[in-house]
Amino acid sequence: MTPQREFAPVDEQLAYLSKGAAEILPQGELKAKLERSAQTGKPLRAYLGVDPTAPDLHLGHTVVLRKLKHFQDLGHTAIFLIGDFSAMIGDPTGQSETRPPLARAEVETNAKTYLDQVYQILDREKTEVRYNSEWLGKLSAEEIVRLCSHYRLARMLEREDFRSRLEKGQPISVHELLYPLLTAYDAVALASDAELGATEQKFNLLVHRDIQRGYGLPGQAILTMPILVGLDGERKMSKSFGNTIGIHEPPGEMFGKVMSISDELMWNYYELLTDFTERVIVRLKGEVASGVLHPMEAKLQLAHYVVATFHGEAAAVAARDEFQRVFRSRQTPSEVPEERIQERDWPNFLTAGTAAAPLARLLYAWHLAGSRAEAERLIRQGAVELNGERVDDPAALVTLEKLRGATLRVGKKRFLRLVIE
């Protein structure tokens, strides 16, 4: 006979799982499930479903992954579901137009890279990994019709993105309506007790719970996590906005990016990207507010924690030392990326009638600024140096000879060494 598993006190578990959460629905459901788990000694089955629509994960993706790890830490079963079938449909959440389905080959390529990244957070030995093609790829037409019978079209069209598209006369494809229903079958197949997701997934998660009950299962508890704000401090972290920190980025680059966020945003990162308790975070905030702890020191601690999570303690120490060497003493980093310039291409950058090119145009061409206007703003603000000399004229022109072997510095953390070929 299998012995009953012992768990931490329910209130302690609930506090740990609630840290940083946006919502837990329905109210009181998770606590009730934790109490039943404690009584029976049976762990909860908590899962996170991810569609492999892109090969690389960034810190925004890890917010929900970390919460799944919290279930695992407490002795519950953590299920990481790779939506290899559903990814071919495409989640319509937040889409203003129909998303074309992905090809199977692309989905499979992306899925292969996910697990190595995920295991940097989840325990490889304790994680149950599933693919929803296991059951969705086997559903018969009759079973799909039965699945659809458990939900009303009117409720589906209550979705904000669907409603908005209808009002604007924009098309909605039938396969998009099927997405939340097919992923709801994941919850049925897994017989899950809890599902995790980002706040923007709330509608889908509620559909999943309803479909579970339509199949005679107890409805799962739903736990949503906030969207992590990106480096710009305004929009969600997303590759399309160019404001991400990839979990496979080099330690030094990751460290520098964390240090670039605002002091205000730092506390949100503490909440969502660390295992520091609420009490510790409140104490740190108080120390910063009172002047006992400098905001820079608090941010250094945060950057160290994040880098150590993905690259190890030694890499975090080295990244911190390098950051302090470069950015506190304003020295050039020991390793600087190179931009190779072909002399034959140089005429493409020149101002008509001259042998010089606008520096702002070059910054944009070399991806040191998101646009020509941003490059000019950076120069105007004194954030650009060429060979250690500040450039403050947004209309500044530079010759090829001046750039030969030169080092460009943009802001506090971006360097580029120019090689003329």
Q: At what angle do helices 263-273 and 59-73 cross, to 10 degrees?
A: 40
- The answer to whether 110 touches 52, Cβ cutoff 8 Å, is yes
- The answer to whether 99 touches 153, Cβ cutoff 8 Å, is no
pLDDT number for residue 96 = 47
pLDDT number for residue 11 = 95
Domains, the chain, with CATH or none: 10-228 (3.40.50.620), 251-329 (1.10.240.10), 338-420 (3.10.290.10)
pLDDT number for residue 1 = 41
Q: Which helix (H) or strand (E) holds 166?
A: helix 160-167
C-beta atoms surrounding 343 within 10 Å: 10
- How far CA 302 is from CA of 242, 273, 275, 353, in Å, comes to 21, 9, 11, 51
* Strands 221-225 vs 45-50: parallel, antiparallel or unpaired: unpaired
pLDDT by residue (tens digit) across 32-50?
999 999 999 999 999 999 8
- For the chain of 421 residues, list the mean pLDDT of each consecutive stretch of 10: 73 94 94 96 96 82 95 96 85 57 75 83 94 95 94 82 81 84 96 96 93 96 96 85 87 90 93 92 94 91 96 94 72 63 77 81 81 84 80 85 77 72 70
C-beta atoms surrounding 30 within 10 Å: 25
- The answer to whether 29 touches 205, Cβ cutoff 8 Å, is no
Close Cβ partners of 361 (under 8 Å, ≥ 6 residues apart): 349, 372, 375
Q: What is the pTM of this model?
A: 0.73
DSSP per-residue letters across 124-162: TTTEEEEETHHHHTT--HHHHHHHHTTS-HHHHTTSHHH
d(C-alpha 205, C-alpha 52), whole Å = 18
